[in-house]
Chain A
Amino acid sequence: MREGWEAVIGMEVHAQLATRSKMFCGCSSDYLAAAPNSSVCEVCLGMPGTLPVVNRRAVELVVKTGLALGSEIARHTKFDRKNYFYPDLPKGYQISQYDLPMCLGGTIDVGGRTIRITRVHLEEDTGKLVHAGDALHTAASSLVDLNRSGVPLMEIVTEPDLRGADDARDYATALRAILRAIGASEADMERGQLRAEANVSVRRAGAEALGVKTELKNINSFRALHRAVEFEIDRQIDVLEAGGTVVQETRGWSEAEQRTFSQRVKEFADDYRYFPEPDLPPLELEPAWVEELRASLPELPAARRARLAERHEISAYDAEQLTQDAATADLFEATVAAGAPAKQAANWIISSHPTLPAARLAELIGLVVGGTINREQGLAVLEEAQAGDRAPADIVRERGLSQVSDESELARVVDQVIADNPKPVADFRAGKTQAISALVGKVMAATRGRANAKVVNQLLLTRLQG
């Protein structure tokens, strides 16, 4: 942050709920896989006379999210119509929630700070427009694809508690981890399952009043979120330091140009003419049912992070990485339970994202830690084990990969290499100590990579310095 300034950021995140069917009809909600306008029916096409029926699973996932965020779950809730015209909105209104959202309040822990959640509500997604041409204003025509129309979305809104680009990214990452842990959303940003919008304003450090905010859209990755917020903070400070004023507007993030650009200036507030959806009776969320859902919640990422770090004595960074989604943390715990040392298990899982079953991963790690193979060989074995669904030990045996650590066996090779390579030997003896690596390489080549590099090094030093 530039000296003397403070950024104030609130986020609105739309997450696609992990339901099989759409919010108000039986169509598949897997809209990406389907040909345009094929995952549709008369209901999500908004044909005259059709009516919505609530997807109970979607309500369940929103309530679970609220419980995971510590929100108050509404006893009485309802759906409302948000009215506006656009070709991707087939009914001319979106079924959403206005004044009685399913979840109110809540918090999320971001880097040791508490970010307040305003509300979580349930709504339906719109379709998509596809413009024939390069840009909207030059397109010859636009086509409507309604596969996404009616897909269940959850909107999670924070208070303006975030203070910078790191905060914004870390919040979105922490939220994703929670949504994945409870199975509420696959939350893949690149696939549009998690859409983040940031409301950004800046003010002089120590000022009370909020500055004019802009709303950032079109953000397709965590990196883009970080860059967009960072760019926008700088841009606003530049404007203000030059004596200008920030315009309240919606700004898009251009990935190609790495900057935000003005999309729509809000001259007056939108009037969506919200009113209660008459086609859906109000929803009563029975406390007993809510309690059942609460009891069914898995351990949440924050708790799991703390537990993993403490029990397995791994770093806070490793614990954070391992708890990004439940499957990764599960694999870590199972691998440790199968006998792998925790630190090594964490390293392998974080750096290689293995897809092996825990028992096999532990076996592989054991082969490396025990010195049977070296780390490079380990990576090759991992790849082969994953591709062929085979046990690492079998691969090592078949390929004759096991590492040679036997000094007498290696000494013969080392002596041969010293005899055959007078130039690097002379260099080393003249004080160019790095020349030893060329000799190690020769030994490795002669043993087809199987030599224990540590032992080879030791043998060379003994002979050359002696």
Chain B
Amino acid sequence: MIDREEPRIGAFLRVTRAEARAQAEAADRRLASGNGSAGPLTGIPVAIKDVLSVRGVETTAGSQILRGYRPPFDATAIARLRDAGAVFLGMTNCDEFAMGSSTENSGYFPTRNPRDTSRVPGGSSGGSAAAVAAGEAVYSLGTDTGGSIRQPAALCGVVGMKPTYGRVSRYGLIAFASSLDQIGPFTTSVRDAGLVLQAMSGLDPLDATSADRPVDLLSGLELGVEGLRLGVPREYFQVEGMEAGVKAAVDRAILQLERAGAELVEVSLPHTDYGLAAYYIIAPAECSSNLARFDGVKYGARDEDAQTLLDTYLRTRRRGFGTEVRRRVMLGTYALSAGYFDAYYLKAQKVRTLIAQDFAGAFEHCDAIVSATTPTVAFPIGAKVDDPVAMYLNDVLTLGGNLAGVPGISLPCGTSDGLPVGLQILGPQWGDAVVLRVARAYEVARDA
């Protein structure tokens, strides 16, 4: 399937055939042994976003600066799937260091949307979304910093979930913005998303921001929405550039949830308008620091023509990083500089607190929030590459969930102009199970 689809889609940066074969054979033995060591993920093939460290496998975060880098260790999420008997197919394409919403910022090549190859798959986890949409992998892993799982899931017509911040260890995830990044799955069904998340979740002594909380994502999955209150945030339906076809599909989905027994309540997230600005200060500020380690001294590509230390830094980073990464590093450096810190970074953190309070307030009136995942369907390749702000607006409905640290899922809810539309369900902090439960209820109603 990968051989057939790859020339058309370009979802993978690297396919690890030998490793996959060895893991598949080990999984076969485990399944055949009948000793109870096999689980639901044993022998199931998974594609991995190129930002998650896999021991011995080239992992580059979609960047030329990490070309040739093979981590000597597994990310915790990867180690847990390895223990569960997963079969690793390879590393999927993404926007460089997960910065982007179309996978066009990859340091290698753009990925195409399997539903219409003239269009982007979304991003930054575009390769992982496309791999599942094209049937190249049963499931895949992505990371979501401002919508990088949910947005491409919506645009490719698959299920994608970002758990509560702290649910899945970030150890081994090549950081973009540490306080926002979370790892999550792409699948074709809500149950599969819950299964994968269950396997990856839980306290990790290697990640001080991972939570010591019980993880039970599956036992309430089929309880339905009868008796649940679903919040409809009015600000999320008034965002700039919301396409009529997207709004119609989402309205239909919400109506189906109401018919399935949910009570709809209007809620307000009053600081929504400030989310984008706050996000594009906090995320670049953290990235400017996180990416400082790519200096040509220790790993990855180094410019060998440099004559001085400063020159080594400048040339290595100028050559190794793409335009969007350089833009965000500069933005973030500026925002953290003496004299600007209070006006930018500190103010953005205050907005972040207000947005988290918005969500906490809304969840006093409802059990989950429903909205569109993105204002538009998949756009043509090249349409927004020269307009960063238009590109950033893709994330306007998803980045609030990252700023507030709450869980969210996107699942397909029909089409607009023949292209998939995503329904987003957001839950309160640690309410990952209720998000999955509402998503599952919609899936049942939709497929009935």
Q: Does B336 contact A (CB under 8 A)?
A: yes
Complex interface: chain A residues within 8 A of B59 (CB): 48
Q: Are A49 and B75 in contact (CB under 8 A)?
A: yes
Query: Residue-by-residue, is B37-66 near A (CB-CB < 8 Å gives 1, otherwise 0)?
Result: 000000000000001110000010100001
C-alpha gap A278/B352 in the complex (Å): 14
Separation of A81 and B286 alpha carbons in the complex (Å):
10
B295 within 8 A of A: yes
Interface centre among A49, A92, A271, A280 (most CB of B within 10 A): A49
Contact B289 A49 (CB under 8 A): no
Count A-B pairs with CB separation below 8 Å: 99
Residue numbers in B under 8 Å from A46 (CB-CB)? 293, 298
A34 at the interface (CB under 8 A from B): no
Q: A46-B293, A51-B208, A273-B336 are in contact. Are A85 and B313 (CB under 8 A)?
A: yes
Q: Mark B260-297, 1 if CB is under 8 A from A, else 0.
A: 00000000000000000000000001101101111101
Asked if B175 CB lies within 8 Å of chain A CBs, one says yes
At the interface, is chain B mostly helix, strand, loop or mixed? loop
| Residue B34 at the chain A interface, CB threshold 8 Å | no
Answer whether residue A279 sits at the interface, using C-beta atoms and an 8 A cutoff: yes
Q: Are A50 and B292 in contact (CB under 8 A)?
A: no
Name the A residues within 8 Å of B177 (CB-CB).
278
A280 near B208: Cβ-Cβ < 8 Å:
yes
Looking at the complex, which one of B61, B171, B289, B299 makes contact with A275 (CB distance below 8 Å)? B289
B345 within 8 A of A: yes
Majority-rule SS of A interface residues: loop
Q: Is there contact, CB below 8 Å, between B298 and A93? A: no
B208 and A85: CB pair below 8 A? no
Distance in angstroms between the alpha carbons of A92 and B316 in the assembled complex: 14
Interface residues on A, range: 20 to 34
Which of A90, A271, A278 is in CB contact (< 8 Å) with B286?
A: A278
A275-B53 contact given A85-B292, A91-B292, CB 8 Å threshold: no
Given contacts A48-B66, A51-B208, contact A91 B293 (CB under 8 A): yes
Contact of A51 among B71, B206, B313, B338 (CB under 8 A): B206
- Decide if B336 touches A275 in the complex (CB within 8 Å): yes
Interface flags, A241-282, vs B, CB<8A=1, else 0: 000000000000000000000000000010101110011110
Instruction: Find residues 42-75 in chain A having any chain B CB closer than 8 Å to their own CB.
Output: 42, 45-54
Q: Does B433 contact A (CB under 8 A)?
A: no
A269 is contacted by which of B207, B286, B338 (Cβ under 8 Å)? Answer: B338
Extra inter-chain contacts (20) besides given A51-B208, A87-B297, A280-B208, CB under 8 Å: A42-B72, A47-B72, A48-B59, A48-B61, A48-B293, A48-B299, A49-B71, A49-B75, A51-B206, A53-B208, A85-B295, A85-B313, A91-B292, A269-B338, A273-B337, A273-B341, A275-B285, A279-B178, A281-B208, A281-B209
A and B contact pairs by CB, cutoff 8 A, 17 listed: A47-B298, A48-B61, A48-B66, A48-B71, A49-B52, A49-B53, A49-B71, A51-B171, A51-B209, A53-B206, A83-B288, A83-B289, A273-B341, A275-B285, A278-B178, A278-B209, A280-B208
Q: Which residues of B contact A (CB under 8 A)?
A: 51-53, 59, 61, 66, 69, 71-73, 75, 170-175, 177-179, 205-209, 285-286, 288-289, 291-295, 297-299, 309, 313, 333, 336-338, 341, 345
A residues neighboring B (CB under 8 Å): 42, 45-54, 81, 83, 85, 87, 90-93, 144, 269, 271, 273-275, 278-281
